Amino acid sequence: MGKLLLTLIIGATVLTSLGRPWIGICSYYLLSILGPQYIWWWNFEGLRVSFLVAIFTLSGMAFQLLKKNYDAGFLLNRHSLWLAVLWLCVVISYFFGPYVDSFNSSGLRPEQLFSLTNTIFIFYFCATLEINELRKLRYLVIVFAASTIYLAYWANNQYFTQNWNQFNMGRLMGPQSIDGGSIYGDENNFAMLFVTGLPFIFYIGWELQKKWQRYLLWAIIPMGWHAVFLTGSRGGLLGLVVTVFLTLFLFGRKFIAVPLIVLFIVFYQLQAGDVMKHRSDTIVDYEGENSAETRIIAWKGGLRMMAAHPFVGVGLGSFVTALPQFIESKPKVAHNTFIQFAAESGLAAGMAYIVIVTMFFMNSRKIRTWCNENENSQDKILIDSYNNASTVSFAGLIICSLFLSLNNYEIFFVLLIFNNALLQICLRETDVTVNP
């Protein structure tokens, strides 16, 4: 019955995507962020859902391009240019990197990682064209928030039902299919979902008119905190601290600051658990396994890779393979997104990444300025809310990326889509106002 219902939903979705490709875009990111194919894998067996969604969505976009229904400004801008540079560097490193090997740290073969990377970039650029209205952006925000809510429930359910098979040495792993495939197989990646998703739940809740609905939605936030504690991710804990304080800074309502901070501290003390507390106590430890020392060794090795191969890097997905050749160390990832990009795909890739991150915050400031100057706009409240949520989320993600390799983390690109769409919507409304 479940498989039949899923088949009907897929059929309706892909057919609708021909006429409204933005629905296909939202469906793609639902599959990427929520990962229903990993949660209910038995219903997805034999169904190439992602492939079908991609084919029908791209076909629908081709029809829209022929009709000239797109605003090129959403795609043809400096942010997209630097993302194209980053993509080009990754492609070059795949074909010309000297250390491209059979396997990387995630177990993906180079061709699999290359295919995944291409899919991520292609759908990012498609999304920038399709998510060109606040109405469409709202649906994508709902996809992100709903995925966070369900996975917060899923994570807590594993704990309260004592499903210890889902834990790796006391650390909760994300949902996985029977063959072990998962976007959240790494506990740190799973924690990042809640770090980036919870700010949206907070801001969406504030916009609700009925207080009981607001408080009911906000009640999910401690569940998300607990989910991070269950993963035992020190990066996730750091990200939570950053997002909580930045939310209070941007929110501008001081009466809620002290209660929220107190709630977070008390909740941490009561619910963090032995694994999370022990790991958080070792954040600043220099010596020992999984300590700061191991990361510094990886970073030194990455810097040597950049010096030896500044143009093409050591090759896509080859940091782990190459590291022992540059420094005495066990094979490991860079534990830093910038170093991973620059070491694997060249200095130009590292520079592109830094520019992309910098431009996100510059765009966020422009959007905030627009909201302050357009108090009478009907869209102002929603734009300001989404901008604050995405800024807080992105800041948490970037802080964590200083200690984690998040090069192919889809949520990074989702937040870029929010940022790009909001800025272009503001620019378009400004142009309409100035040139009616």
pLDDT (tens digit, 9 = 90+) per residue, 85-140? 999 999 999 999 999 875 554 567 778 889 999 999 999 999 999 999 999 999 99
258: confidence class by pLDDT, cuts 50, 70, 90: low
Q: What percent of the chain lies above the pLDDT cut of 70?
A: 88
pLDDT of residue 288: 46
- pLDDT at 274 exceeding the cut of 90: no
The model's pLDDT over 44-60, given as tens digits with 9 standing for 90+, comes to 887 788 889 999 999 99
Per-residue confidence band for 32, with pLDDT thresholds at 50, 70 and 90: very high
The stretch 165-179 carries a mean pLDDT of: 82
Predicted confidence at residue 282, as pLDDT, reads 53
> Structure tokens of 149?
């809510």
Domain assignment present for 350 = yes
CA-closest candidate to residue 88, choices 386, 355, 345:
345
The gap from C-alpha 233 to its chain's centroid, in whole angstroms, comes to 16
Residue 9: pLDDT band (50, 70, 90) is: confident
Residue 294, pLDDT > 70, answer: yes
Q: Tell me: do 106 and 177 sit in the same domain.
A: yes
Confidence tier at 358 by pLDDT (50, 70, 90): very high
Kindly state the DSSP code that residue 178 receives in the 8-state scheme: T
- The pLDDT, as a whole number, for residue 272 is 61
Q: Quick one: pLDDT at residue 336? A: 94
Four-CA torsion 333, 117, 192, 183, nearest 10 degrees:
-90
pLDDT value of residue 117: 94
Does 53 reside within a domain?
yes
Residue at 290 is within a domain: no
Structural domains counted in the chain: 2
- What DSSP character marks residue 230? H
Q: Does the residue 328 lie in any domain?
A: no
pLDDT at 184 (0 to 100): 85
Asked whether residue 31 falls in the same domain as residue 8, the answer is: yes
Residue scoring higher pLDDT (344 or 265)? 344
Predicted confidence at residue 423, as pLDDT, reads: 96
Least confident segment among 47-51, 67-71, 155-159, 250-254 = 250-254
Is pLDDT above 60 for 421?
Answer: yes
Are 170 and 93 found together in one domain?
yes
Distances (CA, A) of 342 to 115, 172, 202, 353: 20, 31, 35, 9
Q: Say which residue the tokens 């209205």 belong to.
A: 133
In a domain, 86, yes or no: yes
Is 390 domain-assigned? yes
Question: DSSP string covering 302-315, please?
Answer: HHHHHHH-TTT-S-
Same domain for 404 and 360? yes
Of the pLDDT bands very low, low, confident and very high (cuts 50, 70, 90), residue 256 is low
Query: Is residue 82 domain-shared with residue 162, that is, in the same domain?
Result: yes
Reported confidence tier of residue 286, pLDDT bands at 50, 70, 90 = very low
The range of the structural domain enclosing residue 65 comes to 1-69
Cα dist from 213 to 201, 221, 263, whole Å: 12, 14, 20
The pTM for the full model equals: 0.92
304, 326 contact by CB (below 8 A): yes
CB 105 within 8 A of CB 115: no
Residues 64 and 87 in one domain: no
What string of DSSP letters covers 31-47? HHHT-HHHHSHHHHTT-
Give residues with Cβ within 8 angstroms of 167, minimum separation 6: 158, 173, 230
Domain end call among 17, 39, 69? 69
Same domain, 53 and 20: yes
The pLDDT value recorded for residue 434 is 44
Same domain, 80 and 55: no
Cβ(75)–Cβ(129) under 8 Å? yes
Q: Report the interhelical angle of 410-434 vs 21-33 (nearest 10°).
A: 150
Q: What is the mean pLDDT of the chain?
A: 87
**pLDDT for residue 228 is more than 80:** yes
Q: Cα-flanking dihedrals φ and ψ of residue 101, to 5°?
A: -125, 180
Q: What angle do CA 33, 203, 150 make, to 5 degrees?
A: 35
Higher pLDDT, 236 or 420: 420
Residue 109 vs residue 334, higher pLDDT: 334
- Given 40, 69, 98, the domain boundary residue is 69
Do residues 295 and 403 make contact, with C-beta atoms less than 8 angstroms apart? yes
User: For 113-122, how does the pLDDT look when each residue is reduced to its tens digit (9 = 90+)?
Assistant: 899 999 999 9
Residue ending a domain, among 49, 69, 89, is 69
Side chain identity, residue 277: K
Report the SS3 class of residue 168.
strand
